[in-house]
Structure 1
Amino acid sequence: MRITIGRAQRGLGSLLPGQAYVGRPGALGNPFVVGKDGSREEVIAQYRRWLWARLQEPGSPQVRELRRLLERARAGELELLCWCHPLPCHAEVVRGAVLW
């Protein structure tokens, strides 16, 4: 199973097969903002804790979305898209959660 991370482009309505947008305002978007809520590294760490708490709720939107992404990854390659990439990004946390 291969999951990569790519940069989102304008026109997200035209995602290619095998691509999934994981930024705001989606279920897996990072609610923490660089600058307002801390440095890039700090908001990624906050996101990791936030997502872990959501994963403790079996019916949460985040659990449902991670399950959907897992099924897509099992069916073929999956590319997670976010505006931050190639900078450090919460999509790396999402990838880890899908692979876990």
Structure 2
Amino acid sequence: MSKLKAYDIIRAPIITEKATMASEANQVIFKVARSATKPEIKAAVEQLFNVKVKAVNTIVRKGKLKAFKGIVARQGEVKKAIVTLEEGHSIDVTTGL
């Protein structure tokens, strides 16, 4: 897998209070491409961060209707990946790539 394809699969890390709590369990949460599969996500994370991935779980958050200044619009669907790392491996998402 080329490095460009890996960057297309892994869009951004998700840094929230819940994601910070998951990091204590050696997990990192990423926003990923909608068409990405679990093996592709695993390969991309291993290539970009030089870590060993134990498991990948995915979630698709359905789009919602939101109103902003009286204009109602639909947010798009977002796919998230919860990546569990092997013992001894870690990713610091606050530093960036």
Using structure 1 for the length normalisation, give the TM-score. Answer: 0.28
- Greater fraction of residues in helix: 1
Q: Greater relative contact order (Cα 8 A, min sep 6): structure 1 or 2?
A: 1
TM-score where L is the length of structure 2: 0.29
